[in-house]
Structure 1
Amino acid sequence: MRPVLTAVALLLAGLACQGPNSDAHSRYPVDTTTIEPGQQLESAPGWYGDAVIYHIWVKAFADGVYQDGIGDLPGIQSKLDYLQSLGVNTLWLSPIFECAYKGDNMHGYDTTDYYAINDRFGTRADLRALIDAVHGRGMRILFDFVPNHTSTQHPWFTQGSTRNDWYVWKGAQPAGWGLPWGGGSSQDVWKPNGGAYFYTSFATDSLADLNFYNPAVQAEMRKVQAYWLDRGFDGMRVDAARYLCESGPGQQADQPDTHTRLQAFRSLLDEYSTGDLHPHPGGDAAKHSAKAMIAEAWTNDASGVTPYYGNGANEFHMCLDFSAPWAIANAITKGDATQVSSLWEFEQRTYPAGTRSATFDSNHDNLISRPGTQYGGAKAKIILAEALTLLSPGTPILYYGNEVGMTGQSGTDLNLRQPMDWAAVATQTSQPDSILSWCRYLIQARRAYPALRGGYTTLSTDLGPTKALAYLRNAGTERVLVVANLSAVSQTITVSGLTGQGVPAGGPVQAILGDLKGQDALSGDTYTATCLPAYGVRVLYVAGTGFQTTLHGDLP
């Protein structure tokens, strides 16, 4: 969740959970199914380094069960052919568990039951079918885990047995507090209820923070985690990871105790790779079922994310890279690659070995507009944004619809959560130069060449970072060169410093994506990309023995 949830907070504050009625009962029946521990996809540790993650906003993706205009779990299952053809191999679902608010901007971060499926999305049986279908294709699936807070309609909050100890309370509204990310006042985070005040990180009286100093809360959240991992999920994205523990005003984020709680989550995850915990039908099916977790540790300062990797083996495998969307946008809209290359260099230099930054160019929150809006519908710019995301040194996350250039203006969450444009998918599928086709080429390249999942080095160009970006990806003896034109006109770009990075002087160059224009070899230490189109990108194989084929030439 995002610091400053203005639109969502207003909706939550002004609207209660939709009450039962005969139509709702007939359309959304009570779920009487069960979901037993299920098949685990065999996975080696570190699989997330080879992942291409597709982020699904479930409500908006595909309506497959109730024909109510609301996306659901059977709808996702019906689109697995499409997702597999796109090339993604891991799905991340927005929150699917029972929640309080069921209106237009139903988001699911207001949990009322961590063990029940949101009735708008289907049943436990539907989830079981989806997980099995995803695993049957060798793909993985992640759930959105929301441990920091629940809805104030959760039974834990409304029942006396848990209300006082499972949440954070004060007898009177304390002074000197503010929002955990800065600004605000005590009135924002301490809300009156029943003669006392409860703490809420997100400044709404509809969400209450759980008390992670209570061992019972800690144990229950580990139980929730284990319950869904047992049922086949391959990992989880942890919402609001910075805010689990608050020890006083100004000490509401990034606390040492928060890291301790997160390390307990990681410890449980790691047990699945040993097969020692949670045996499954048919034997120790958990063996080799390595799980992964992604942090939403929202800060635009990459250094602020670093502690959430811990020592590289005891906290998160990946952290969402909230600096990347703006860095990529600055490269394309302002003609300045300095921010993105500096970011990637910092991450390579700083983050522990074996961890990954999770790169994206937009998501469901009010961070930035979708590329389709950010770049005014300009196809070449949108494709370049997707290229810099999918060819980044992190693990890329593709937000649903961005692969066809869907629009969405930041400022209101709902703008970024509109129904998937399946008509655009149908149209662009047959167009070899469409945004969708280029996303397929880029994903295919990333999955085919280990170098595009390996190390990263920024290279110098004769035009400098205001007009061009060049970088080298590497794995073993394989080297892949990426050259991007950041200007609105065709340019010839000379890249230098290649031989110092394991590329043979004067060696051959083969095009994975883009045209060679006769430049099929290095000139000593340099390579010249001739007549690279405006906002164009070329992906070139410059060392190794694994070249396969040219996927597509330059974008016309």
Structure 2
Amino acid sequence: MYKNIYTKKFVFFVLTALLSFDVFYAKALAVTEVAPAYWWVGMKNHELQLMVHGNNIGKSKPTIAYPGVTVKEVARTDNPNYLFIYINIAANTRPGKFNIKFAEGADVKNFSYELKARTDKSGALGFNTSDVLYLLTPDRFANGNAANDNWDGVNIDRNNPDLRHGGDLEGVAKHLDYIKDLGVTTVWFNPVQENKMPNGSYHGYAITDFYKIDQRYGSNEAFRDLTKTMHNKGMKVVMDMIFNHCGLAHPWMTDKPAADWINNPTKYVQTNHAKLTAMDPHAAKKEADVLLNGWFVPDMPDLNQRNRHLATYLIQNSIWWIEYARIDGIRQDTYPYPDYAFMARWCKEVQAEYPNFNIVGESWYGKSSETAWWQRNSVLNKTNTQLKTVMDFPLTFTADKGFNKENNENGGESSGLYQIFEVLAQDYLYADPKNILTFLDNHDLGRFNRVEDKDLDRYKQAFAFLLTTRGIPQIYYGTEILMTGTKNEGDGQIRKDFPGGWEGDKKDAFTATGRTDMQNEAFNYLQELLQWRKTSAPVIDGKLIHYAPDNSNVYVYARIKDGKTVLVMLNGSSKDQTLDMDRFTDVTGKHTGGKDVITGKQISIAKTATVPARNQYILELN
């Protein structure tokens, strides 16, 4: 009997102790993460937000004792595992480390934080009309390090177009000379931040850590080293960012910093993609709310940028990447979907810190008026978006058909070239027609090149146009070697692996010997144009004057700067067309001839000029 009593008492004591132990440690403070992990002195904006995550950290009182650093505000949310500290860093604050002390009664935790010196002044140059962007999907460009292919139970499978294929930053680094020799100046990376999603999320648009490079691509240090190498080669870097949503596997989804961190957190609501509600004076509020608050897809939760802590977190994240890796530009995904006031604030704060920086927003619309509404200082928009550059989807959609032979058999207003002329004629809608990103295709659209194209007439004419018209041109990786793929085949088919980017590939299209004769002709043509464009002041920064294509179906325009003129003539018809040059004396003046930049031949424009069927001239007038 006594034995049983003592046994029961001992068990009770142990259980009580264990419960007390659990309760004590459930309440114990912990600091598991501070974001950003470090910052810099000497920034123009002296305020810094620190998002602190850890067990019950929200119940603590933080203090900092470091010369020049003062705590302005301590903000708590409904989640005790988060704390937001807003500090001021005085202009004369010196670089160094200091402790942030978190205290709740006798429970004290210290976290070492560092303010670094701003030693790297390279990069952050922005991009402009002197640049040509080369857009690549890192997972599909080249695999430089097979050791990082598989992670977290997600393995590469190159036979499946929708899974990871193993491309990485090292693969890009190994082919930088190929990109540079092609003649582009800037590389735009599809997202490289962590996508630790169950299916791998090869495209990169389901971010699970905004401050980390996905380890299948490399590391933060590898990305920083790559940008530095590119700058040393005279190249620039544009980073793809996403503020509208994160990945479903982001830690925020299991421990939200605040109840309103995510829009529609308890019930899935699909966005309606009704992007016109942004500018539609008749739009119903519910329609606009569904656009802004609905989820893009079920595995991409919609972020609520109206939460002031989240808004500041995202803005600081951009500035952190600019300062850390010295990137030159940002392409912001799904621009009309996040909160409008937040996006304007983001653009303004980034521009204030880095005056030369450029941001381009994905403004996916079919009409120039809709796209122009998003550009900063637009007379169409009562609220300034502060967005410097927009994407010219209207021109892309028109050009996709506009250079087709079948659309140019008849001249006049029904021709494809006339429709391209019409898009450019609406540039009066834009506050700044120079800062418009122009492109023939990208990672979300069917490839411009088609399987049925048996010659390069369409290809050559389209690139002659793209690289001589107004705006900032962008080329999609593989277009230079005639890669094909349609949207109907699936996104994976328009994001195919670049041949030769993987060990064991049967063909290596990075080399002339690994390309077909037609691929080499396409590559050489584009390379010739790109390298020439770098030297052409009229094309880079000149005035555009154009003429409506008439029944001859020849589109004629000129780029003019400082007395120098580049005259472009695009013949969309299947017949040679002889033009009476008297019509074009506004731009030709007394010039009687010019050198074609591709062939080097002198072309007479004294009285008439004959443009071969489905061909083009790009003439430097002399």
Q: TM-score, normalised by structure 1?
A: 0.75
Secondary structure at the aligned position of 1:208 is classed as coil
Listed one character per residue, the Cα deviations across residues 446-483 of structure 1 (whole Å, up to 9, x for unaligned) are: 2111111222222255644xx32221112222111111
Alignment equivalent of 2:342, drawn from 254, 261, 270: 261
Which residue of 2 is the match for residue 361 of structure 1? 440
| Cα 1:177–1:244 shift into 2, 3 Å | closer
The one of 285, 298, 323 aligned to 1:205? 298
Deviation at 1:103, TM superposition (A): 4.2
CA distance in 2, matches of 1:425, 1:468: 35
Aligned to 1:450: 537
Equivalent position SS for 1:223: helix
2:496 to 407, 418, 425: 418
Q: How has the CA–CA distance of structure 1 residues 350 and 104 changed in structure 2, closer, same or farther, with 3 Å as cutoff?
A: same
Q: Would you say the 8 A contact 1:509–1:520 is kept in 2?
A: yes
Aligned residue in 1 for 2:66: none
Q: Which amino acid aligns with 1:330?
A: K
What amino acid is the match of 1:64?
G
Deviations 1:490-510 (A, max 9, x none): 443445533223x32353322
1:91-130 equivalences under 5 Å are: 91-101=187-197, 103=199, 106-130=202-226
How many residue pairs get aligned? The number is 458
> If you compute each CA radius of gyration, which structure gives the higher value, 1 or 2?
2
Matches within 5 A, 1:83-162: 83-101=179-197, 103=199, 106-162=202-258
Q: Secondary structure at the match of 2:442?
A: coil
Aligned mate of 1:376, from 437, 453, 456: 453
Q: How far 1:519 moved relative to its partner?
A: 4.0
Match of 1:282 in 2: none
Match of 2:521 among 405, 410, 434: 434
2:93 match: none
CA–CA distance in 2 between the matches of 1:104 and 1:179?
A: 25
Instruction: Quote the Cα distance in structure 2 between the aligned partners of 1:323 and 1:65.
Output: 39
Residue in 1 that maps onto 2:413 = none
- Change in 2 beyond 3 A, CA 1:201/1:387: farther
TM-score for both structures, normalised by structure 2: 0.67
Residues 404-423 of structure 1: CA deviation (Å, up to 9, x unaligned): 11111222111110011342
Provide the C-alpha distance between the structure 1 equivalents of 2:451 and 2:397, rounded to a whole number of angstroms: 11
Q: Secondary structure at the match of 2:511?
A: helix
Equivalent residue letter for 1:227: W
Look up the match of 2:120: 39
Deviations 1:67-89 (CA, angstroms, capped at 9, x unpaired): 65511111111111111111111
> CA 1:44/1:415 → structure 2, altered by over 3 Å: closer, same or farther?
closer
**Residue 496 to residue 56, structure 1, CA distance change in 2 (3 Å):** farther
Unaligned runs of 5+ in 1: 1-33, 192-197, 246-257, 275-289, 544-556
| Kept after mapping to 1: 8 A contact 2:293/2:304 | no
Map of 1:8 onto structure 2: none
State which of 376, 379, 384 in structure 2 corresponds to 1:310: 376
2:615 is matched with: 536
CA contact (8 A) 1:461 1:493 kept: no
Q: Does the CA contact (< 8 Å) of 2:191 and 2:203 recur in 1?
A: yes
Residue 61 (1) aligns with residue 138 (2): no
Other structure's SS at 1:510 match: strand
Change (3 A) 1:494 1:103: farther
Amino acid corresponding to residue 419 of structure 1 in structure 2: D
Assess if the C-alpha contact under 8 Å between 1:460 and 1:495 holds in 2. Answer: no
- Equivalent residue for 1:14? none
Contact kept? 2:464, 2:618, Cα under 8 Å: no
Contact 1:468 1:487 in 2 (8 A): yes
Does residue 166 (structure 1) correspond to residue 261 (structure 2)? The answer is yes
1:269 corresponds to which letter in structure 2?
V
Deviations 1:261-308 (A, max 9, x none): 22212222223446xxxxxxxxxxxxxxx2110110111111111122
Q: CA deviation at 1:113?
A: 0.3
Letter of the aligned partner of 1:320 in structure 2? M
After superposition, the Cα gap between the structure-2 partners of 1:487 and 1:270, relative to the gap in structure 1 and judged at 3 Å, is same
The answer to whether structure 1 residue 487 and structure 2 residue 573 are counterparts is yes
* Unmatched tracts of structure 2, length 5 or more: 1-113, 150-164, 278-286, 379-383, 409-415, 501-507
Aligned to 2:309: 216
In structure 1, how many angstroms separate the alpha carbons of the residues matched to 2:548 and 2:306? 51
2:581–2:606 contact (8 Å) kept in structure 1 = no
- Which of 337, 343, 364 is the equivalent residue of 1:243? 337
* 1:81 match: secondary structure: helix
Distance 1:241 1:438 in 2: 34
Partner of 2:547: 459
Task: Supply the distance in 1 between the matched residues of 2:481 and 2:398 (Cα, whole angstroms).
Answer: 21
- Quick one: distance in 1 between partners of 2:271 and 2:167? 39
Question: Are 1:480 and 1:542, in contact at CA under 8 Å, matched by a contact in 2?
Answer: yes
Q: How many percent of aligned residue pairs carry the same amino acid?
A: 22
Higher mean alpha-carbon deviation, 228-237 vs 490-499, is at 490-499
Check 1:341–1:104 CA distance in 2 against 1; reply closer, same or farther (3 A cut): farther
Could you tell me which of 170, 174, 177 is aligned with 1:81?
A: 177
Q: 1:156/1:189 Cα in 2 relative to 1: closer, same or farther (>3 Å)?
A: farther
CA contact (8 A) 2:145 2:168 kept: yes
Q: CA deviation at 1:487?
A: 2.6
- Distance of aligned partners of 1:315 and 1:101 in 2 relative to their CA distance in 1, 3 Å threshold: same
Distance 1:482 1:421 in 2: 34
Shift of residue 38 of structure 1?
6.8
What do the CA deviations read for 1:419-460 (whole angstroms, capped 9, x no partner)? Answer: 113423423789797100111111122211111122222225
Correspondence 1:327 to 2:413? no
Counterpart of 2:13 in structure 1 is none
Asked if 2 retains the 8 angstrom alpha-carbon contact of 1:488 and 1:535, the reply is: yes
Contact 1:189 1:200 in 2 (8 A): no
Q: Are residues 1:292 and 2:358 paired?
A: yes
Change (3 A) 1:476 1:361: same
